[in-house]
Amino acid sequence: MDQSRRDRDAEGRARNARPRDGLGRPLPHGAPGVERQPEGVLRTPEQTLLEAQRLLDTGMPFHAHEVLEDAWKSGPEGERELWQGLAQLAVGLTHAARGNITGGARLLLRGADRIADLPALHGIDVPGLVAWARDLAGRLTGPVDPAAEAPRLVH
């Protein structure tokens, strides 16, 4: 492939400018898509949780994952495990909504296991999220409605 036609940032890293649907799946070039979340946004934990919850509630767990990933990558070292686990839960819901039952269940359980023994910082309902993830993973049989299955992140 002609390297000059590849979508790269200033450092030469690949970017994916293809439009995406509400579950983050790539669409054909030129198709209308859902606006992606900007990367690297610094938010307070409260802002992160509000934005991630808004996206979950509107059936966009892939986009919520991106918001939670920013917190994981930019937050204090002592909180990264919690944010990473929350991002995994959002990705698990994304896969479940796409119909990837095995991958969705695996990520939901991995996220639940990651946060299960962590303190509930910022009002995050860790026990409730662990129970939600394990319950959803256990009853996946086909694609789910991501908005209907959206968890509550905080008490």
Domains assigned to the chain: 1-36 (no CATH), 45-139 (1.10.3450.10)
For the segment 105-138, what is each residue's pLDDT rounded down to a tens digit? 999 999 999 999 999 899 999 999 999 999 999 9
Indicate whether 7 pLDDT > 60: no
Query: Once rounded to an integer, what is the mean pLDDT over residues 89-101?
Result: 97
Q: For residue 114, what are the CA distances in angstroms to 26, 66, 111?
A: 28, 18, 5
At 12 the pLDDT is 55
At 8 the pLDDT is 56
At 25 the pLDDT is 63
Least confident of 2-6, 88-92, 96-100, 123-127: 2-6
Instruction: Name the residue type at position 57.
Output: D
Instruction: With H, G, I as helix, E, B as strand and everything else as coil, classify residue 20.
Output: strand
Q: What is the pTM of this model?
A: 0.82
